[in-house]
């Protein structure tokens, strides 16, 4: 079976990490190797850069510098984890990928999206996810969820204002329309088990594989 690269995208508190864990459990039940990873991070170099990006003051970085740090972390991630995993036949599930950079730094912080796309092509060529699941939630509800989980040391983006998070949601929805061939929009406000069922349905429809539920209840 050909392995695929699946990415999970969304604003703060959309439940991506929860859905990545449930999806990993589904693959395990099916006897299929799946590597679960995240951005920024996922590799030694990526995790080192992560600490620079997700903590500290909201104005810690110039927007273009921030985008370059994300790209550097991603390059290490792709070359040391994602490509090798796919090459050995494992599926890869990543909590965020380039669509987040395009939306957060491009749409949210006004970095030239053409510049971002050109840089992406220079670094990764035509490498793209097979499927991108976007978990959509109203920004204030997502921020409330994220705040409740209490991960204060990685709350730099959560602390940005509601107008920023509204732009992020609009940016993701626009990008989902633009890349409808690989995007599927999920209603992230629903119960996590219902969302997980929608995730498995999208994978069956887009990639032709039926997975058992990864949820125990």
Q: Which residues contact 137 (CB under 8 A, 6 or more apart)?
A: 10, 11, 13, 14, 15, 145, 169, 188, 189
Beta-strand runs (E) in the chain: 5-10, 34-38, 91-95, 131-136, 183-187
**CATH at residue 152:** 3.40.50.300
| 199 occurs within a structural domain | yes
pLDDT per residue, tens digit, the chain (217 aa), is: 899 999 999 999 999 999 999 999 999 999 999 999 999 999 999 999 999 999 999 999 999 999 999 999 999 999 999 999 999 999 999 999 999 999 999 999 999 999 999 999 999 999 999 999 999 999 999 999 988 887 767 889 999 999 999 999 999 999 999 999 999 999 999 999 999 999 999 999 999 999 999 986 5
CA 50 to chain centre: 14
Domain residues for the domain of 158 are: 5-163+179-207
Token pair in block for residue 66 = 């921030």
Residue 184 placed within a domain: yes
Instruction: Quote the pTM value.
Output: 0.96
Q: Assign 5 to helix, strand or coil.
A: strand
Residue 215 lies in a domain: no
The C-alpha atoms of residue 99 and residue 106 are separated, in whole angstroms, by 10
Q: How many domains in the chain?
A: 1
Residue 216 lies in a domain: no
Residue 189 maps to a domain: yes
Number of alpha carbons in the 13 Å side-chain half-sphere of residue 108? 25
CB 187 within 8 A of CB 199: no
């Amino acid at each position: 079976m050909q392995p695929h690269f699946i990415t999970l995208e969304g604003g703060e508190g959309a439940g991506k990490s929860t859905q990545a864990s449930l999806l990993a459990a589904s693959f395990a039940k099916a006897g299929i190797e799946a590597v679960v990873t995240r951005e920024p991070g996922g590799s030694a170099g990526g995790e080192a850069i992560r600490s620079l990006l997700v903590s500290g003051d909201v104005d810690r970085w110039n927007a273009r510098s921030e985008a370059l740090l994300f790209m550097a972390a991603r390059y290490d991630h792709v070359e040391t984890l994602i490509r090798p995993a796919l090459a050995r036949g494992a599926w890869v599930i990543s909590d965020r990928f380039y669509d987040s950079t395009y939306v957060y730094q491009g749409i949210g912080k006004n970095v030239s999206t053409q510049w971002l796309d050109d840089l992406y092509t220079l670094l990764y060529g035509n490498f793209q996810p097979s499927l991108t699941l976007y978990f959509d939630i109203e920004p204030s509800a997502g921020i409330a969820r994220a705040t409740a989980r209490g991960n204060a040391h990685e709350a730099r983006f959560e602390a940005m204002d509601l107008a920023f998070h509204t732009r992020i949601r609009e940016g993701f929805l626009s990008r989902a329309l633009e890349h409808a061939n690989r995007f599927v929009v999920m209603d992230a406000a629903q119960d996590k088990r219902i969302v997980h069922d929608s995730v498995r349905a999208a994978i069956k429809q887009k990639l032709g594989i039926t997975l058992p539920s990864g949820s125990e209840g």
